[in-house]
Every structure is written in C-alpha cells, then in structure tokens.
Chain A
Amino acid sequence: MLSRLFTRAAWLVVALVSAFMVGCSKADLQVRQSTLDPKGPVAKLQYDVFMDTVWLVLVLFVLVGGLLVYAVVRFRARPGDDVKVVTQEGHGNPLVEIGLITASIGALVFIAIPTLGAIWIDDDVPASAVPTSKLSAWYPRTISGVEQYAATLENQVLEIDVVGKQWWFRFEYPQLGLTNDAKHSVPNEMVIPKGVAIHINLRAEDVIHSFWIPKIAGKVDLIPGRKNHLWIQADEVGHYYGQCAEFCGDSHAYMLFRCEVLEPADFVKWVASQKKEAAPVAENTKAAKGKELFAAKTCVMCHNVSGHFGAGSFAPDLTHVASRKSLAGAWLDNRDPKAQVAIEHTSPLGTEASVAVDPAVLKANLIRWIGSSGVATGADGKPTKDVKPGNRMHFYKMFNVASLNETHQTFTAEELDCLAEYLMTLK
C-alpha cells in the first residue's frame, strides 16, 4: 500500500516538474506589459535585481528542496521497521543550527547589496545622466525665433506631471507649456523622447492610483495630498503599454494608458503639434451640428477644446482627440486593427511600432463610448452596456447637481453620429 502510494507521489512530482518545464518553455517573456523585457535603465536595474533573487532562490530551491525530497525518501518507513526504536533520539544540534543560520544570513547578503544600490539609483535621475538629459542637451531653446522654454530651465531634465483620476491619467509638461491650466494637457497617452532621463511628478485628485509602464519602470503610487516622483528613461522608440496598478474603484481594470517613445527631434515636433488649436468646423455639416450638441449637451462643462470651447478643465482635453490611438482610458483601441495584427505577427518579440489611427474604428469607438451607459442610448437606439461603469461622464448622480439630469445626456442615434463627426475633426 505504502510503496504504491509512494510511486504515485513520485509520478505526481514528475508530472508537476514537467508541467513546470513545459510552462516555462511556452511562456512568452516579451508580451506587452512584461517586466522581463526591460527597455530602459530603471526597468533594467529592477530586472537585474530580480534576476539576482531568482538565482539565489533557484540555488536554495535545489539545495533545500533536494534535501527534503532525499530525507523523505531515504527515511521512509519500510515494512518490518520497528518505529519505536528511534524514539529516544536527540533534540537538536547547536552546531548545525548555527551553521544553517549563518549560511541563510550570508545568502541574504547576496541580494541585500544589489537591492540597496538599486533603491538609491531608482529614487531620482542620477547625476551622471543629467549632462546628456538636461533640456539644453537635446531640445532647441528657440525654434524660428520662438522661445520653447525659459533660459532658467536649461540645466533641468524634462519634467512630466502625471495626475491620476477615476479612471484616466492626465499628463502635463510644465516646462514646455503643455498644462491643464494652459488648456494644453495630454490625456492617457504620454509621449516621451528616446534616450533621455525624465523626472516624473505624481499626483492624484480623488483616490490612490499607481503609475506603471512595466517595460520602462516599476510602479510608484499616485496618492491624493502627497507628492511622489520617479524617473524614467526609454531606450527604444515604440508604443508601450501602461496600467493603473492600485485598485481604484469600479472601473480600475479599464484604467490603462499608453506611452509613445519618439526620437528627440520628433518629440519637439509633437510638442508643437499639441499647442495648435482646433481648426474651424465647416458650416452646415454633421460636424457643425455635433459642435452645437457638444455645448447643448453639457459636454463643454468638463471637456476643453482649445480654439472652440474653453470652459472645461475637469475631464480629458479633447483638442486632439482624433489623433489619439486610444479612447476611454486607453481601453478602446482606435488603431487600424489589420495593421496592428500584422505588427504583432511579424515582430512579436521586439518593441511594438506605432500604428496609425483608423477613422472607422475611431468613429465606432466614439459612438460606443459616448452612447454607453444606462441613461444614454447607443447608435442602435438601445441603451448600451457601460464601457466604464461609474465613470463621471455618465454617472451624473456623482455631481449632485439638481439641474443636471438624464435628458441632458441622452442622445438619439443621429445626434450621436453628429457628435462623433465633430470629434473626428479634432486632430
């Protein structure tokens, strides 16, 4: 009975180990949010420290686990054993104990040293990175005679303010004039230059969120009433995926964001493009009707569209909404799905390249997003399922304003179409 059980247990161990091996060989280590595929010095350092712990643990696993298996097999009761013989054996051995404790402490020192080093390097932009990363090293101070940033900022590295809200991120570049106060903030899609160190300031306006782009840097929390920071640097151009990592309420799972890494020269152009105001809308078009609805349906109270409306500052800035590759906290993807699939099939292991926005997908997403909620109706005239349950755009109760009620936010399918057409003009 016992030996049969024993054989079965051995098979169980073999099965688990082989399942583990198969699993390891099948696991793709370079998926979108992989922490094992670092693309910048911060993530790389964290990866290196992690690998130190992996090696230590593997050695310990083989030693301790092997010894445990050996002991259980070697000292198993066999038929005919007199179990009582060993009753009076000793109660421990001080030398063995002290030796093992010393060895454990030694093993921990092996990971403690790289850990301590990395804690300080992770904290803020290291002095050695400043000469190549300061603004004057890569960003022209004046372009065509227009000053891009103040002379006093020359020796600073680029700073980005990240504000977390339920359930989206707002990015501001205060040195370059892209701020919410200046009506030029960037929601959900951070853009950064390649190869320079960046200081990031983290703030939250409602609950705690966490800023995390696994391939570029580990997470740091955004805590209301508290200023946090980290530094990042990306060494490859491409499209990176980030996500809020601290549970923040109903739609936490939908609080994603993107990070686009550009060559420094392209980044300079991108900053200029963000400062442009929205182009006028041609009269007597669907878009013109949509622009009217934007005001009539109270969208304008929260959303800013520089050049058209300027009242809103609470919700994402829509001045360039049609140029963004995602919608609704990066949950809905506006990119050309075919091109996207092609990229994922041709270079599954490299950094993902940027794919252009597909207007048809963008429009469908806009209609689905605005139309979705219990109080509004979708393109088919029926209430659609909430894309982000609890979000402020649909959850009017949150504002506790008596005059704001359901009728202000209900759209017919035709109205929704016009509104989408208007938003599509905001490149």
Chain B
Amino acid sequence: MSHDSHHAPVASKLELAPERSDLGLYRPDRATGWVDWLTTVDHKKIGILYGAFAMFYFLVGGVEALAIRTQLARPDNTLITARMYNQLFTMHGTTMIFLGVMPLSAGFFNFLVPLQIGARDVAFPRLNAFSLWTFVFGAFVLNASWLFEFGHLAGWFNQFEWHKNLIYTDFAPANGWFSYAPLSGTIGQADQALHSPRFTGVGTDFWIIGIQILGIASLAASFNFICTIVNMRAKGMTMMRLPVFTWMTLVTAILIILAFPAITVALIELMFDRQFGANFFNPSAGGQPILWQHLFWIFGHPEVYILVLPAMGIVSEILPTFTGRPLFGYPIIVFSGCVIGFLGFAVWSHHMFTTGLGPVPTAAFSLLTMAIAVPTGVKIFNWMGTIWGGRVRFTPPMVLSLGFIWMFMCGGFSGVMHSSAPADAQQQDTYFVIAHFHYVLLGGVLLGLMAGLYFWFPKIFGRMPNEKVAYLASGLVIIGFNLAFGPMHYLGLAGMPRRTHTYHAGNGWETWNLVATVGAYILGIGVATAFINLVWTAFKGRKVESDPWDGRTLEWSLPSPVPEYNFAQSPVIGARDAFSEHKYGDLRLIYEKDGGPSGVHMPSQSWMPLLASAGFLFIGFGMPMMSMGIPYAGWLVITGLVVLIAGIWLWALEGPGGYMLTTPTNTAPANQPSASLSR
C-alpha cells in the first residue's frame, strides 16, 4: 500500500486527511497538544523532551547533592542517617550521570545533528521516540525506589508478610554509582534463589534494572545517530566538513555502542547472582568480585568520555562563533576526539590501582592514562589557537565556554596527578578524586552544556534568554563551584575518604567542609537561576531573528523556531563553515529543487514506540518487587515482556507511513555569488 500517492500537497499537516496504518490503526499525524508530544517522531520535539527531563533530573540530583553537603557541613552531624546518606550519594551520582548529563547531551544530539548535516530528520524517527520513552521509563523506575524508601520509612509496608521477611530494608540504591560486588551481590551458599544472603536490599535491584533499561535507550539512540550521520548528510557535506559537534556526537555514539555491552553483561550477571542464585561475583562460591570491577570500568571509563565529548563539541562550535575565526586545527580537533575515544578503552584499570593488579599492569595503565592527556591537551591548545587573533565577544555562551576550558584544564591537571599510580595510592577514594571528577564533569561538562543551552536556545525557541540574568547565573555557578570543590583537593590530601556520611572533629577537616557546603549552596542558587532564566525564556523571552549570534553552521540558516521539515529545500554544501562563508561573500551554499509545491516526505507519528517502551515500566517494577518477595510480582515482568514484544510487533506491522508536506520556495539565505561553489 502506498502512502505517497493519496496526499495532496498542503502547507500544514493539520489540513491533511486523517490516516490509518496498514493494520487499520490510527496514526496520530494530525494530533496536537499532548498526544502530539507523546507520539512525536520529530527529532526537534524529542530533543526538547530529552532536555526538559534532563533539566528536571539535574534539579533532583542537585537537591540530593545539597542534602549530602548539608550533612557534611559539621563534624559528627546526625542530620541524615548513614543509610539515607549512602542512598543519597548513590542516587546523586547515578542521577547526574545517567539522567542528567547523558540525556541533556542526547537532547543536543537530537535537536542539532540533523540540522547541522542538512537532513530533515534522523535515520529512524520511531526508534528515536523509542529511545526517548525508554529513557523516561528507566529514569522513573530508578527514582521510584525513593517512593518505596519513603513508604518504608513511613511504615506503610509494615503490615505485609513480605516486608517482615526482608533482612535488609534499603529500598533506594545504596552501593555507590559503581556498585562494587560483593556489596551489591551475594555471599555464602544460596539455599534458595530468592534468599541467597546479600549485603543490601532491593534498592540494588532497582539500580540494576534501571541502568539496564537506560542502557537500552542509549544503545538504540546511538545506532540511530551513527546511521544518521553516516547516511543522511546533505550533498557536499563530506566527513571533514562536518561541524565538530556532529563529529563528537558520532564518536560518542560509537563509544556508547562499544562500552554499554560490558555493563549490560555485568548487570545481567549481577541480576542472576541476586535473583536466580548464580555465583558470578560470589567469593564464597568461587565467584570473582574483581570481575565486576573490570566489567564496570571498561564501561565506566569510556562513559566519562561519553559525558565529556559532547560538551567539547559544543565548545568547539561556540568558540569560532564568538571569536569570528574558523576553528584552529579542525582536523586535529576531530582526530584528537577520536583518539580520546579510542584510548578511553585502554585506561579502565586506573580506577583499580589499589586492587593489587601487580606492578606490570599498574605501570601499563599508568602510562596509558598519562598518554590520554596528550589528545586532551591538543584540544585545549587548539581552542586557544582559535581565540588567538580573533575578536572575542563575551556573550553568556562564550563566558561559560571559557569557564569550561579553564575548569576542564584544572580537572585535567588533577587527572595527571593520579595517573601516577603511587600518588594515586594516597588519592584513590578520597575527596581529591571527588574534586577531580567534579572539575571535569561539573566545571567541565555542566558549564559546557549550559553554554550550549544559552547558545542554541534562540534557535530552539526563537527567543533570547535575558543576558543580565545569564551573566549573574554564570558568575554564581563559577564562584560557587570553585568554592565547593576547590577545598576538596585539600580535604582529600588531608585524608578524608569519600562516601563517609560523617567524620570526627579533630581531623582538621571541619573548616573546609563548611566552606565547601557554602559553595555548594551558591552553586545551587546559580544553577537554579540559570534554569529559571531558561524556562522563562522558552515561554516569555524576547523574540529574535534566525541568526542572532552570527552563527557558522547550517542550523543558523533556518528560521527560529525551526519548521518541522527543517530545510524547505535540501542544502548542497561547498565548504566547511559553509553558511558563514556564504554570508560573507563566497557562494558556498546552494539548494536542491525539492520541497516547494511538490512537498517533502515526512514520517508518520506513532503510538508504538511509547507502547513498546511502556513494557520496560512493568519489567522495571516487576524485578525489584520479585526481589522484595511480593507474591505474583513475576507476572508483572512477564506482562512487561508481552507489552514490549506486542509494541515492537505492531510497530513493524503498522508500516512506515509518511505523508507529503509542502514547503515555502526560495528560502535560500542571501549571498553575493562568486565563481565556484567549492574551493
């Protein structure tokens, strides 16, 4: 059955006749409002949803962080119990990494990549929606553990037999974000599968299944982006003309595909240990706890670069824009990004210097870790080369990007310090490490992502954030951040271990913990100010034209907000930085003769990605509830599998759909034509 023939070209999809799928099911193409958002396959809407959920979870993780800092402000503080503290830092780390930074990066991938490569959507629009909703449900499952924890503390479950039988009653994860076995696993001989002795309660089961679901979302999205970037570039957009952000997206997606299988395997093994009586990590049955660490960190270290590379891509877009110069050493920046990605798989054991690897592996991982400083340094040098000879405009995105370079540089320096294994023997698992990775991930990645938000918000919503508030927020974030995490370098060297919910007075840690807490609150106020500024902008901000920053990449050639078909006519690219060079004289951009009255082909919206993802909701609740010993919880898991399979089945059978949409003609930006398209 053809879907192309029976649509008359019209200006708006709302004027189209309702459509049905091959199964006769309703395709919500003409929907508006919340049905539109739930069934959308538009990469821009999916990107906005990713961003909105990510910002929400940033706030959740931030509140957890402030609770942690409040507890540590004074020695021998009894505000928060040990167990609650352990749950807070575990969920803080997990939330910030998997529910904050990764989805916010995914939001940028979604919104920007098709625009930057001159495409009308991603390669698999429905798979993209599936990634989004799977992330949303995975995040919900992970955080639902808090609901159980609060229910337990409030005593709601006391009357139930299963609750009385529980040995451990921590309902939110309390293992730290890397959940080392056997603390997260089992010990001793399992008498029955469900009653093998453990060290932690069902929080760990929530964590296992939650991360597993989030991994599926990340993997699906990564395949989608690799296909999109490799196959859907506009004519003339060769790989070495790709904007650096798109390049870093490609590298990140490849890292996700290569890194996540390791954690997937580890999580399945841990789940089998805990729920089905297997002994992968159970030392008393011959299992190897160290295996978990290898599997986790061969995922976990590339994960760091999965978090950092998108922010590096963002900064590599912002610097040329606000210095008025092309990126210095584009090929080297791209190549060093790839080298970082490659070397990222060769340094995992530097997280394990204290596990007794033996001198030869320790030396090898020490040297490899030092080696990774070279491509990272190359990026910083090239960013400086971009500034050199330029005209630096201190807009909010530029201020935040400069902050990114500075903080990331400091984080890199402390990283070099513990690449040296003997020095790391003193620093491992202390606040020195906390300081290091917060300089990389907060001073680096969060500032980079905030810069990206301020940079592309005018493109996403067609509205400009208030500049004064933006400067204020950036200042508060940078001051608060340094005040909170700078003293932690000292605390770590003064011997304060991480993940301790309290400490005695007399250890010399009191003053700087208090300073760090004050800094954390300033940082919190700064982030809140920035987010309020951005949310307000999305609805009420001052409207701006399509290219307020004098941008260089293709997305700035489009109207703001971007129409649903992106490019009315497909672009043909004649150079790197084609749009910028085109604006200033050379003919670098022409348009194909598609679109217009003959229309462009748009993918149909669908309920099926949402339905399939909803299966994970049942699985995500069912597995921990089985672990709690709630009767018949296993049927919830089976229901989830049925829903998942049914969703995928119907998805396959409903047909590709699609409709034609007319676009305006002659939307090419003005230029002064010169001799040739390419140089």
A residues at B contact (CB < 8 Å): 2, 5-6, 8-9, 12, 15-16, 19-20, 23, 26-29, 31-36, 43, 45-47, 49-50, 52-54, 56-57, 60-61, 64-65, 67-68, 71-72, 75-78, 81, 83-93, 96-97, 100-101, 104-105, 108, 111-112, 114-116, 118-120, 122-123, 166, 202, 206-208, 210, 212, 214, 217-221, 223-226, 228-229, 241, 243-254, 331, 344, 385, 389-390, 397-398, 400
A65 — which chain B residues lie within 8 A by C-beta? Answer: 406, 409
Q: Are B83 and A226 neighbours in the complex by a CB distance under 8 Å? A: no
Question: B288 in the interface, Cβ–Cβ < 8 Å?
Answer: yes
Give Cα A23–Cα B485 distance, bound, in whole angstroms.
Answer: 13
Question: B435 in the interface, Cβ–Cβ < 8 Å?
Answer: no
> B417: nearest residue on chain A (CB-CB)?
A53
Give Cα A56–Cα B370 distance, bound, in whole angstroms.
Answer: 13
B363 — which chain A residues lie within 8 A by C-beta? Answer: 115-116, 119-120
Min Cβ gap A349→B in Å is: 12
Q: Are B495 and A49 neighbours in the complex by a CB distance under 8 Å? A: no
Q: Are B420 and A252 neighbours in the complex by a CB distance under 8 Å? A: no
Q: A35-B493, A64-B409 are in contact. Are A87 and B289 (CB under 8 A)?
A: no
Q: Are A208 and B354 neighbours in the complex by a CB distance under 8 Å? A: no
Question: B422 in the interface, Cβ–Cβ < 8 Å?
Answer: yes
A77 — which chain B residues lie within 8 A by C-beta? Answer: 391-394
Question: B180 in the interface, Cβ–Cβ < 8 Å?
Answer: yes
Q: Are A210 and B356 neighbours in the complex by a CB distance under 8 Å? A: no
Q: A34-B493, A221-B355 are in contact. Are A83 and B423 (CB under 8 A)?
A: no
Q: Are A111 and B416 neighbours in the complex by a CB distance under 8 Å? A: yes
Contact with A along B413-425 (1 / 0, CB 8 A): 1101101111111
Q: Are B331 and A53 neighbours in the complex by a CB distance under 8 Å? A: no
B529 — which chain A residues lie within 8 A by C-beta? Answer: none
A46 — which chain B residues lie within 8 A by C-beta? Answer: 422-423, 425-426
The total of Cβ contacts below 8 Å across the A-B interface reads 333
Give Cα A12–Cα B475 distance, bound, in whole angstroms.
Answer: 8
B416 — which chain A residues lie within 8 A by C-beta? Answer: 53, 56-57, 108, 111
Q: 13 pairs across A/B with beta carbons < 8 Å?
A: A9-B394, A12-B475, A36-B493, A52-B420, A92-B332, A100-B381, A111-B420, A218-B425, A224-B289, A246-B180, A250-B174, A253-B500, A253-B503
Q: Are B366 and A92 neighbours in the complex by a CB distance under 8 Å? A: no
Question: B373 in the interface, Cβ–Cβ < 8 Å?
Answer: yes
> A227: nearest residue on chain B (CB-CB)?
B356
Min Cβ gap B179→A in Å is: 10
> B490: nearest residue on chain A (CB-CB)?
A27
Q: Are A92 and B382 neighbours in the complex by a CB distance under 8 Å? A: yes
The 9 A-B residue pairs with the shortest CB-CB distance in the complex, in nearest-first order? A33-B495, A218-B425, A31-B508, A92-B329, A225-B283, A253-B500, A228-B356, A118-B422, A224-B283
B residues at A contact (CB < 8 Å): 78, 81-83, 86, 167, 174-176, 180, 182-183, 187, 197, 199-200, 283-284, 286-290, 323-332, 354-356, 358-359, 362-363, 366-367, 370-371, 373-374, 377-378, 380-382, 384-385, 387-394, 399, 402, 405-406, 409-410, 413-414, 416-417, 419-430, 471, 475, 478-479, 482-483, 486-487, 490, 493-504, 506-509, 511-512, 550, 576, 580-581, 584
Partner of A251 from the list B82, B180, B283 (CB cut-off 8 Å) is B82
Q: Are B176 and A31 neighbours in the complex by a CB distance under 8 Å? A: no
Partner of B183 from the list A81, A220, A247 (CB cut-off 8 Å) is A247
Q: Are B374 and A108 neighbours in the complex by a CB distance under 8 Å? A: yes
> A244: nearest residue on chain B (CB-CB)?
B497
Q: Are A104 and B475 neighbours in the complex by a CB distance under 8 Å? A: no
Q: Are A122 and B425 neighbours in the complex by a CB distance under 8 Å? A: yes
> B78: nearest residue on chain A (CB-CB)?
A385
Min Cβ gap A162→B in Å is: 13
Q: Are B183 and A108 neighbours in the complex by a CB distance under 8 Å? A: no
**A33-B507, A86-B323, A217-B425 provided; 7 other pairs, C-beta below 8 A?**
A31-B507, A53-B423, A57-B417, A87-B324, A104-B378, A225-B289, A243-B495
Min Cβ gap B13→A in Å is: 39
B286 — which chain A residues lie within 8 A by C-beta? Answer: 225
Min Cβ gap B290→A in Å is: 6
Q: Are B324 and A84 neighbours in the complex by a CB distance under 8 Å? A: yes
A221 — which chain B residues lie within 8 A by C-beta? Answer: 354-356
A253 — which chain B residues lie within 8 A by C-beta? Answer: 82, 499-503
Partner of B388 from the list A20, A34, A75, A243 (CB cut-off 8 Å) is A75
Min Cβ gap A85→B in Å is: 8
Partner of B374 from the list A6, A104, A166 (CB cut-off 8 Å) is A104
Q: A108-B371, A111-B370, A119-B421 are in contact. Are A225 and B287 (CB under 8 A)?
A: yes
> B366: nearest residue on chain A (CB-CB)?
A115
Give Cα A83–Cα B393 distance, bound, in whole angstroms.
Answer: 9
Q: A57-B413, A225-B289 are in contact. Are A389 and B356 (CB under 8 A)?
A: no
Give Cα A128–Cα B388 distance, bound, in whole angstroms.
Answer: 54
> B422: nearest residue on chain A (CB-CB)?
A118
Give Cα A12–Cα B483 distance, bound, in whole angstroms.
Answer: 12
A244 — which chain B residues lie within 8 A by C-beta? Answer: 497
Q: A27-B512, A101-B374, A210-B354 are in contact. Are A123 and B393 (CB under 8 A)?
A: no
Give Cα A218–Cα B180 distance, bound, in whole angstroms.
Answer: 21
Q: Are B328 and A115 neighbours in the complex by a CB distance under 8 Å? A: no
Min Cβ gap B442→A in Å is: 16
Partner of A225 from the list B288, B324, B329 (CB cut-off 8 Å) is B288
Give Cα A70–Cα B371 distance, bound, in whole angstroms.
Answer: 27
Q: Are A208 and B183 neighbours in the complex by a CB distance under 8 Å? A: yes
Q: Are A87 and B388 neighbours in the complex by a CB distance under 8 Å? A: no
Q: Are A112 and B367 neighbours in the complex by a CB distance under 8 Å? A: yes
> B187: nearest residue on chain A (CB-CB)?
A206
Give Cα A64–Cα B408 distance, bound, in whole angstroms.
Answer: 12
Give Cα A398–Cα B419 distance, bound, in whole angstroms.
Answer: 40
A226 — which chain B residues lie within 8 A by C-beta? Answer: 283, 288-290, 356
> A226: nearest residue on chain B (CB-CB)?
B290
B497 — which chain A residues lie within 8 A by C-beta? Answer: 212, 243-245
> B503: nearest residue on chain A (CB-CB)?
A253
Q: Are A23 and B490 neighbours in the complex by a CB distance under 8 Å? A: yes
Give Cα A26–Cα B515 distance, bound, in whole angstroms.
Answer: 13
Q: Are A219 and B354 neighbours in the complex by a CB distance under 8 Å? A: yes
Q: A60-B413, A72-B402, A101-B374 are in contact. Are A87 and B325 (CB under 8 A)?
A: yes
A390 — which chain B residues lie within 8 A by C-beta? Answer: 82-83
Give Cα A151–Cα B417 distance, bound, in whole angstroms.
Answer: 45
Give Cα A228–Cα B357 distance, bound, in whole angstroms.
Answer: 9
Q: Are B496 and A33 neighbours in the complex by a CB distance under 8 Å? A: yes
Q: Are B511 and A245 neighbours in the complex by a CB distance under 8 Å? A: no
Q: Are B500 and A120 neighbours in the complex by a CB distance under 8 Å? A: no
Q: Are A49 and B423 neighbours in the complex by a CB distance under 8 Å? A: yes
B324 — which chain A residues lie within 8 A by C-beta? Answer: 83-87
> B467: nearest residue on chain A (CB-CB)?
A1
Give Cα A92–Cα B325 distance, bound, in whole angstroms.
Answer: 11
Q: Are B417 and A50 neighbours in the complex by a CB distance under 8 Å? A: yes
